[in-house]
Amino acid sequence: MSKPIRVLIAKPGLDGHDRGAKIIARGLKDAGMEVIYTGIKQTPEKIARTALQEDIDVLGLSILSGAHNYLFPEIMRLLNENKDKEVLVIAGGIIPLSDYPALKEAGISEIFPPGSSIEEIASFIKNNVHSK
């Protein structure tokens, strides 16, 4: 059996709603992945340290609070300081279309708006995860 894909689902920002994040986490589990879920209000430092220790293949960021334009690039910066590891980063939540280009420029591979299906997200991950 091949090694399961390890995913960290993280919720940066100050909003306290994590229903969506939990649904994604459960869905990816059912798709055969090992999903680490850390709860709400994660700072970029916490996310980057967790990513390092858990040796994740994929980081899924979920945000509703609107601070993505600051938080995501900061998370990417810290993530890139982690040695020796390429992580596929995806995002979801409430993010205006006009912000997409800059976020993709910062290293977010794909953004899934509300209503995206688990199948869609799972297959994107399987097709794009960096094989080591």
Distance CA 80, CA 64 (A): 24
Shortest distance, position 11 Cβ to another protein, whole Å: 11
Shortest distance, position 120 Cβ to another protein, whole Å: 17
Nearer to another protein, 41 or 100 (CB): 41
| Other CB atoms within 10 Å distance of the CB of residue 48 | 23
Nearer to another protein, 47 or 90 (CB): 47
Shortest distance, position 33 Cβ to another protein, whole Å: 5
Binding residues (CB under 8 A) for another protein: these are 1-4, 6, 25-26, 28-39, 41-43, 45-46, 49-50, 52-55, 82-85
Nearer to another protein, 69 or 85 (CB): 85
For residue 48, what are the contacts with CB-CB under 8 A and spacing of at least 6? 75, 78, 79, 81, 82
Shortest distance, position 105 Cβ to another protein, whole Å: 26
Nearer to another protein, 2 or 131 (CB): 2
Distance CA 100, CA 123 (A): 21
Distance CA 104, CA 107 (A): 5
Contact 117, 89 (CB under 8 A): no
Nearer to another protein, 54 or 99 (CB): 54
Distance CA 8, CA 92 (A): 13
Shortest distance, position 103 Cβ to another protein, whole Å: 24
